[in-house]
Structure 1
Amino acid sequence: MAAGAVAGGHSSEGYLQFIDPNRKWYNNKRLIYLHCWIALLLITSSTNGYDGSLMNSFQSLKLWNDYFGHPHGGMLGLLNAIQNIGCLAAYPFAPYLSDGLGRRLTIWIGATIMLGAVGLQGGARNLNMFIAARFLIGFGVTFAANAAPMLVTEISYPLYRSQLTALYNSLWYSGNIVASWTTFGTEFINNTWSWRIPSLLQGLPSVFQFFLVLWGPESPRWLMHKGKETEALKTLAYYHADGDDTDPLVLFEFNEIKAVAANVGWSALWSTRGNRKRMMLIIAIAFFSQWSGNGLVSYYLNAVFRSIGITNTTIQLLITAILAIWNLCWASAASFCVERAGRRLLFITSTAGMLVFFAMQTVCSARFAITGNQAAAHAVIAFIFLFYASYDLAYTPLIVMYSVEILPYSLRAKGFNIFNFVISVALIFNQYVNPIALDAIEWKYYIVYCCWLTFELAFVTLFIVETKNLSLEETAALFDGDDIKNAMDAVASDIRSDDMSDDKGSGSRSYTPSAELKA
Structure 2
Amino acid sequence: GVLSKSLKATTYMVVFAIWIALSGWMVNYDISYGGTVLQMESFQKTFGHCKMAPDPKTGHLQEICALSATAQSMVSFSQLFSAIGAAFSGFTGNYLGRRGTIQFGCLIVVIGAACQCATAGSYAAYNVCKCLTCFGVGHVNAGGPTFGVEVIAPSMRGALVSIFNIGLSIGLLTSSAICYGTSTIGNSWEWRTPVILQIPLAVIYAAGMMLFPESPRWLLTKGKEQQARFALAKFYNRDSQAPEITAQLRETEAYIELEKAQSSTTSWTEIFHKSYIRRTTISILVNVAGPLSGVPLIGTYAAVFFSAAGVTKPFLTQVYLGVCGLLGACCGPFIIEYVGRRLAILFGLACMTVCMLIFSTVASGLGASSDTARNVLIAFLCLWFLVYGSCLSSSHWVVGVEVHSVRLRTYGAAIAVFSANTAYFAASFWTPYMINPTAGNLGTKVGYFYLAITMVFFVVLLFLLPETARLSLEQIDDLF
TM-score normalised by structure 1 residue count: 0.82
Task: Provide the rounded CA distance (Å) in 2 between the counterparts of 1:379 and 1:253.
Answer: 53
Amino acid at match of 1:47: M
Structure 2 residue 295 is the aligned partner of structure 1 residue 294: yes
| Separation in 1, partners of 2:176, 2:303 | 13
Q: Deviations over 1:283-333 (max 9, x none)?
A: 2122211111232111222343234321x3xx2111111211210111121
Out of 184, 187, 191, which is 2:187 matched to?
191
Find the counterpart in structure 1 of residue 171 from structure 2: 175
In the other structure, the counterpart of 1:265 is 267
Task: State the match for 1:345 in structure 2.
Answer: 343
Question: Which of 413, 416, 419 is the matching residue for 1:416?
Answer: 413
Structure 2's unaligned 5+ residue stretches are 49-65, 261-265
Alignment of structure 1 residues 247-396 onto 2, 5 Å: 247-248=243-244, 250-261=245-256, 262=259, 264-273=266-275, 275-310=276-311, 312=312, 315-369=313-367, 372-396=369-393
For residue 92 of structure 1, report the CA deviation from its aligned partner: 5.0
Q: Does 1:446 align with 2:443?
A: no
Q: Tell me by how many angstroms 1:130 deviates.
A: 1.3
Shift of 1:415: 0.8
SS at structure 2 position matched to 1:43: helix
Q: Distance in 2 between matches of 1:267 and 1:223?
A: 22
Contact kept in structure 1, 2:87 and 2:418, CA below 8 Å? no
- CA distance, structure 2, for counterparts of residue 345 and residue 222 of structure 1: 31
1:156 paired residue among 148, 152, 176: 152
Partner of 2:118: 123
How many residues matched?
A: 451
Deviation at 1:216, TM superposition (A): 2.0
**Equivalent position to 1:100, from 91, 95, 98:** 95
Question: Could you state the TM-score of these two structures normalised by the residue count of structure 2?
Answer: 0.89
Task: Give the counterpart letter for 1:63 in structure 2.
Answer: S
8 Å contact kept, 1:60–1:316:
no
Equivalent residue number for residue 495 of structure 1: none
* CA-to-aligned-CA distance 1:256-286 (integer Å, 9 cap, x gap): 211111452123112243x111111112122
Q: Does 1:240 align with 2:259?
A: no
Question: Aligned pair in 2 of structure 1 residues 429, 415: CA closer, same or farther (>3 Å)?
Answer: same
Q: Structure 1 residues 128 and 267 mapped into 2: Cα distance closer, same or farther (>3 Å)?
A: closer
For 1:141 and 1:97, how far apart are their aligned partners in 2?
13
Contact 2:88 2:414 in 1 (8 A): no
State the identity %: 22
CA distance in 1, matches of 2:337, 2:211: 31
Deviation readout 1:219-273 (Å, 9 max, x if unpaired): 001111111112212221232143253243x234212211111452123112243
Look up the SS of the partner of 1:408 in the other structure: coil
1:308, 1:211 → 2: CA distance?
A: 43
Q: Which runs of 5 or more structure 1 residues have no equivalent in the other structure? A: 1-12, 26-30, 480-519
Question: Does structure 2 retain, via aligned residues, the 8 Å contact 1:98–1:146?
Answer: no
- Alpha-carbon contact 1:48-1:172 (below 8 Å) kept: yes
SS of equivalent to 1:125: coil
**Partner secondary structure for residue 337 of structure 1:** helix
Task: Show structure 1 runs of 4+ deviating over 6 A.
Answer: 13-16
Residues 36-73 of structure 1, C-alpha deviations (whole Å, 9 max, x = no match): 34433220111111112212321231111111112221
Q: Contact 2:183 / 2:190 at 8 angstroms: preserved in 1?
A: yes
Identify if the C-alpha distance between structure 1 residues 464 and 14 changes in structure 2 by more than 3 Å, giving closer, same or farther.
farther
Whether 2:48 is the aligned partner of 1:51: answer no
Give the letter for the 2:250 counterpart: N
Deviations 1:364-395 (A, max 9, x none): 2223436x421122111111111112222322
Q: Distance in 2 between matches of 1:197 and 1:307?
A: 25
- Given that 1:124 and 1:130 are in contact with CA atoms closer than 8 Å, whether structure 2 keeps it comes out as yes
Letter in 2 for 1:277: R
Distance 2:432 2:323 in 1: 25
Indicate the RMSD between aligned Cα atoms, in angstroms: 2.0
Q: Secondary structure at the residue paired with 2:301?
A: helix
Structure 2 CA distance for aligned equivalents of residues 393 and 14 of structure 1 = 33
Aligned mate of 2:423, from 416, 422, 426: 426
Q: Tell me the residue number matched to 1:514.
A: none
